Amino acid sequence: MHTVNIRVTHHRADVATLEVFAFPDVKKALKDIHALRSVKECVIIQTCNRVEIFAAAEDVNLAYHDIVDYLMEDVISRMRTRKLFEHSDAECVPPDLLTKHIVEFSAKLHDAMEVEYHTDALRHLLRLAAGIESMIVGEDQILGQVRDAYNLAKALGTVGPFFEKVFTKALHVGQVVRTKTNINKGAVSIGSAAVELAEQVFGSLEGKTALLIGAGEMGKLVAKSLAEHKLKSLLVANRTYERAEKLAEELGGKAIPFEALQKAIAESDLIITATSSPKAIITRELIETARKDNKNLLVIIDVAIPRDVSEDVAMLPGVRLFNIDGLREVAERNRKAREKEIVKVEEIIDREMALLIKQLYRIDVEGIIRDLFKEAEKVRQRELGKALRMLGDGLGEREKRIIDDLTRVIVNRLTSPIAENIRKAAEQGDQEAVKVAEKWFRGA
């Protein structure tokens, strides 16, 4: 079994491209990809700045093409039903417009997508869990996101023994690097980076009114960071009012009903949105209506994928709109501050990768070894039966047991060194030797 990783992340993609690639329903995508003829196991990690597919397959090149075909079909289907477009009330996209968007998407696919195979794909996963592939290097949130992605795949039955080993190792590495290095010491998250960006724009957040929309994991990170500043007030809105109320209570803020957004926007200097809404919740019309009597600067930072704020909001006077792309400068400063720790993390990953490869190759050849022992046992039983029949009825049960034990010991002593050599060849990456063993013993 081998691994292929297909991903679109902040490294090459802007927020608009990430929106196109993001799965509206990760559970459905997991099941669909797992059902592809070439894919044996599958995990999808999707966050605000990455969409990553990890697939286990016997033929990773075939798996790659099957998955990319699926991605194209999925996006084109959403284009056709207008789920990727906010304009027009038409039920379907005109053919010429659809063709235009398909061509644009294909170009984005080529430019933004990264693909890695085998040990490169595995190393990327360990780096991801360790936090050094994150936009904000050292963030702790990604480790929980990898764990959640694995647990979801496990619950849906899209992982087996191979990825159980792989993701258990990745989660272990993520914990070890955070214990043995300072990669996450004082680490910021996407949420706190958003607050840092707001502080840069205003100069200071002291005396400002901040509105947080979304009380999920990202919202909590934003709220905790906002609470460290001397705000005039912190307003928290969420579709489930009880969640907003709980978060506001923890941090000394004030919960507001989702229906009261317009009034809260009118009072706010800063808005940070982090919901999981499939479409924009803040429109130009909403801002214009809410801010008609307020001419002060309004800063909006949208850290959601898909975006919570319509692009045309940026055209309004007195409004500065940022999204995930606007956090890149903050991210780069954070990376430079952690360069020495990244080296230490890489050393840990190198050691753990060597152990993982040994474990995985053992899994790869255990089927060959089982077939070897199974065939040897068949031969032993067949020849033992012949010998006992030739010796006739004069043998007692004790003699039969002795002969049975003798043949078993002889077969085991002959096959065990062969099995050990197959395992060693696998651990050393000697694929030619493994292929020969598979040809001789698999299904023999």
Catalytic (active-site) positions? 48
Q: Give the tokens for residue 36.
A: 């592809």
- CA–CA distance, 353 with 162 (Å, rounded to integer): 15
- CA–CA distance, 215 with 241 (Å, rounded to integer): 9
Residue with tokens 């195979």: 117
Decide: 429 and 360 in contact? Cβ < 8 Å: no
Tally Cβ neighbours within 10 Å of residue 278.
Answer: 11
CA dihedral 87→92→96→102, nearest 10 degrees, is 80
Q: From the centroid of its chain, how far is CA 136?
A: 16
Decide: 3 and 55 in contact? Cβ < 8 Å: yes
Work out whether strand 254-256 and strand 233-237 pair parallel, antiparallel, or are unpaired: parallel
Peptide bond into 306 cis (omega under 30): yes
- What is the residue-wise DSSP string for 347-377? HHHHHHHHHHHHHHHHHHHHHHHHHHHHHHH
Q: Among residues 158, 144, 174, 155, which one has the least CA distance to residue 35?
A: 158
Q: Among residues 160, 175, 172, 181, which one has the least CA distance to residue 356?
A: 172
- CA–CA distance, 336 with 328 (Å, rounded to integer): 12
| Separation in Å, CA 240 to CA 216, 217, 244, 257 | 10, 14, 7, 8
- CA–CA distance, 14 with 60 (Å, rounded to integer): 27
Decide: 171 and 217 in contact? Cβ < 8 Å: no
- CA–CA distance, 224 with 142 (Å, rounded to integer): 17
Q: Among residues 203, 189, 209, 77, which one has the least CA distance to residue 141?
A: 189
- What is the residue-wise DSSP string for 147-197? HHHHHHHHHHT---HHHHHHHHHHHHHHHHHHHHS-TTTT---HHHHHHHH
For residue 439, count CB atoms less than 10 angstroms from its CB and return exposed for 0-12, middle for 13-18, buried for 19 or more: exposed
Q: From the centroid of its chain, how far is CA 297?
A: 37
AA letter at 404: D
